[in-house]
Amino acid sequence: MRTVPTTIAFVLAGGLALSEAAGAVPVEPELVGVVTPEFDPSVPCLTAGEEEAILARLAARKAELAARGVLLSPDAASAPLEFGWPLRLHPVIDDPGYHCVRSYRDHDPTPGFRLDWHCGQRTYDSHHGIDYFIWPFAWLRMEQDQVEVVAAAAGQIIAKVDGNDDHNCVMDGSPWNAVYIQHADGGQAWYGHLKNGSTTTKPEGAMVARGERLGIVGSSGSSTGPHLHFQVFDGNSQLVDPYSGSCNFEPTWWLDQRPYDDSAVNAIRTHDTPAVFPGCPGTEIPNERNAFLPGSTIYFAAYYRDQLSGQVGQYGVYDAAGDPVFQWSHSSPQPYYAAALWYWRIDAPQSGAAFGTWRFEVTFEGVTTTHHFWVGSLVDAPDEFVSITRPRIAVLGANPRSAAAGPVDFIADLPSSGVGRLTVVDVRGRTMASFGDVWRPAGRHVFRWEASGAPAGVYFARWMTPGPSGAEPVTAKAVLTP
Ligand SMILES: [Zn+2]
């Protein structure tokens, strides 16, 4: 399977329904755009030849295990398998969702035609597995080991493959990292495209339980983004589609089969700049921020899966007193998005709202998702809102202030450890002070600029890191008065 680079379509702000609460600032949220990772259903992630080669290799491995006397013999009388969900989000991350289905098994044997278990088209020609993509921030989640692949059913590891590159963007037939499990009935489950170095430490021949970690979702093999290819065979070596539906009359293999239209909000976020989705294999730059000054521009983002036209999302932004500051609703004009990000730009009020912990809420298909953030003095922002994915620079204390009032302290909240530099420049770009390229741990750092003697004017503190390329410098503005 193949994805083409993310496209961004800009949409006019028209058509928004905005209900203003009494006292709310009369600014209509501006819909900035929609981001949808697109899907080209023309290229398989496992060709027929590759599948045959894997089957031959698995047969050889089974023969080796049998020769060592450790291969479990199939039990024709074993109970039908009941699959659990093959993915698991790291428990410290509380997003309500993190995946989307991009391709089911193809049930139409005619070349050029496709049909999924629900008689829809969410598959591609000759696809024998199911592709579960990660959404949003698939590359970032891969780097951070956020989404595990777990065994859908208990069984024996008959083979595992690791050591292959996991940043693939093309369908070049390169080998993937995978774990192959044989079930009690003699059938198999294939878990493919895993992250390099992530496969279970258990050896071939070992048993795994349902829900046991097998690896991390990656993009090894013929792949253009981190996803799991999950492929199942029964005890007679016949391909199985575990989903039961009007174009696959077999009983479901799932303990709890998810609906075809599994429409939901996967995540909501606040950003100071829209998230950046570079082309494959660039790691996404979320530009998340959870602490804002009054009057700041805030981007409110909702990340959906299986979004259908006509489904209405109800949005609300509530201040520290619980009063609505903005409320609006939105539905997608497109018939179907496997995955979509919609985001709005709002300028937080300077006054007239209760500052402190605010709430961003989206209600969609009967489920309400809540995200808390801070609007107010940044120095007072609780730590939970400061743990962000992007450095934050601010002026400590009064600003503007008298040039004679003594040194200016800049605080830098660093989301991760690393090398960086804080430079203070004047409006003509001349360096006034520089705090060198040394390694610093994550957390809050204070940089003192001895500003005495500096003329009145506007100064900028810039935080710069050597990478990643394309990262914008983060700045804070200090104003010195005579
Ligand atoms: Zn696939």
Instruction: Report the separation in Å between the CA atom of 121 and the middle of ligand 1, taken as the mean of its atom positions.
Output: 15
> What is each CA distance from 295 to 285, 349, 368, 376, in whole angstroms?
24, 5, 27, 9
Instruction: Report the separation in Å between the CA atom of 239 and the middle of ligand 1, taken as the mean of its atom positions.
Output: 14
Residue 423 · residue 464 · CB < 8 Å = yes
Q: Which helix (H) or strand (E) holds 301?
A: strand 297-308
> What is each CA distance from 115 to 109, 122, 179, in whole angstroms?
9, 7, 27
Which domains are delineated in the chain? 41-240 (2.70.70.10), 391-482 (2.60.40.2550)
Instruction: Report the separation in Å between the CA atom of 242 and the middle of ligand 1, taken as the mean of its atom positions.
Output: 14
Q: What integer best gives the mean pLDDT of the chain?
A: 87
Residue 404 · residue 481 · CB < 8 Å = no
Instruction: Report the separation in Å between the CA atom of 141 and the middle of ligand 1, taken as the mean of its atom positions.
Output: 19
Instruction: Report the separation in Å between the CA atom of 5 and the middle of ligand 1, taken as the mean of its atom positions.
Output: 18
The CA R_g of the chain, rounded to the nearest whole Å, is 26
pLDDT at 10: 33
Q: Which helix (H) or strand (E) holds 158?
A: strand 155-161
Instruction: Report the separation in Å between the CA atom of 148 and the middle of ligand 1, taken as the mean of its atom positions.
Output: 17
Instruction: Report the separation in Å between the CA atom of 166 and the middle of ligand 1, taken as the mean of its atom positions.
Output: 15
Instruction: Report the separation in Å between the CA atom of 448 and the middle of ligand 1, taken as the mean of its atom positions.
Output: 54
Question: Which candidate, 171, 165, 96, places its Cα nearest to that of 131?
Answer: 171
Residue given tokens 């799991």 in the structure block: 228
DSSP 136: S
Distance, CA of 451 to CA of 448 (rounded, Å): 9
Question: Which candidate, 421, 410, 396, 425, places its Cα nearest to that of 471?
Answer: 421
Tell me the one-letter amino acid at 286.
Answer: P
The token pair that represents 146 in the structure block: 């956020």
Instruction: Report the separation in Å between the CA atom of 131 and the middle of ligand 1, taken as the mean of its atom positions.
Output: 5
Which residues have a Cβ under 8 Å from the Cβ of 64 and sit 6 or more positions away? none
Instruction: Report the separation in Å between the CA atom of 424 and the middle of ligand 1, taken as the mean of its atom positions.
Output: 51
Instruction: Report the separation in Å between the CA atom of 52 and the middle of ligand 1, taken as the mean of its atom positions.
Output: 15
Instruction: Report the separation in Å between the CA atom of 112 and the middle of ligand 1, taken as the mean of its atom positions.
Output: 17
Instruction: Report the separation in Å between the CA atom of 49 and the middle of ligand 1, taken as the mean of its atom positions.
Output: 14
The token pair that represents 195 in the structure block: 């992250």
Write down the pTM of the prediction: 0.77
Instruction: Report the separation in Å between the CA atom of 191 and the middle of ligand 1, taken as the mean of its atom positions.
Output: 10
Instruction: Report the separation in Å between the CA atom of 124 and the middle of ligand 1, taken as the mean of its atom positions.
Output: 9
Distance, CA of 114 to CA of 108 (rounded, Å): 5
Lowest mean pLDDT among 185-194, 248-257, 282-291, 330-339: 282-291
Instruction: Report the separation in Å between the CA atom of 43 and the middle of ligand 1, taken as the mean of its atom positions.
Output: 10
Residue 36 · residue 12 · CB < 8 Å = no
Alpha-carbon torsion, ordered 345, 471, 286, 142, to 10 deg: 160
pLDDT in tens, 286-341: 888 888 889 999 999 999 999 999 999 999 999 999 999 999 999 999 999 999 99
Q: Is the pLDDT of residue 436 over 80?
A: no
Distance, CA of 227 to CA of 22 (rounded, Å): 46
Residue 308 · residue 261 · CB < 8 Å = yes
The token pair that represents 25 in the structure block: 């600032």
Residue given tokens 């579960």 in the structure block: 132
pLDDT at 475: 83
| Local structure of 213: helix, strand or coil | strand
Question: Which candidate, 392, 295, 303, 385, places its Cα nearest to that of 346?
Answer: 295
Instruction: Report the separation in Å between the CA atom of 97 and the middle of ligand 1, taken as the mean of its atom positions.
Output: 21
**Burial status of residue 50 (CB atoms within 10 A of its CB: 0-12, 13-18, 19 or more):** middle
Q: Which helix (H) or strand (E) holds 248?
A: none
Instruction: Report the separation in Å between the CA atom of 193 and the middle of ligand 1, taken as the mean of its atom positions.
Output: 9
Instruction: Report the separation in Å between the CA atom of 123 and the middle of ligand 1, taken as the mean of its atom positions.
Output: 9
Distance, CA of 19 to CA of 28 (rounded, Å): 9
The full DSSP string for 21-33 is PTT------EEEE
The token pair that represents 277 in the structure block: 């989705």
Tell me the one-letter amino acid at 450.
Answer: E
Instruction: Report the separation in Å between the CA atom of 231 and the middle of ligand 1, taken as the mean of its atom positions.
Output: 8
Lowest mean pLDDT among 43-57, 154-168, 233-247, 355-369: 43-57
| Local structure of 382: helix, strand or coil | coil
Instruction: Report the separation in Å between the CA atom of 460 and the middle of ligand 1, taken as the mean of its atom positions.
Output: 49
pLDDT tier at 182 (50, 70, 90 boundaries)? very high
pLDDT in tens, 375-418: 998 777 776 776 545 677 888 888 888 888 888 999 888 877 66
pLDDT in tens, 4-37: 334 333 333 333 333 334 444 445 688 888 888 8
Torsion sign, CA atoms 190, 192, 194, 199: positive
Instruction: Report the separation in Å between the CA atom of 46 and the middle of ligand 1, taken as the mean of its atom positions.
Output: 7
Instruction: Report the separation in Å between the CA atom of 469 and the middle of ligand 1, taken as the mean of its atom positions.
Output: 31
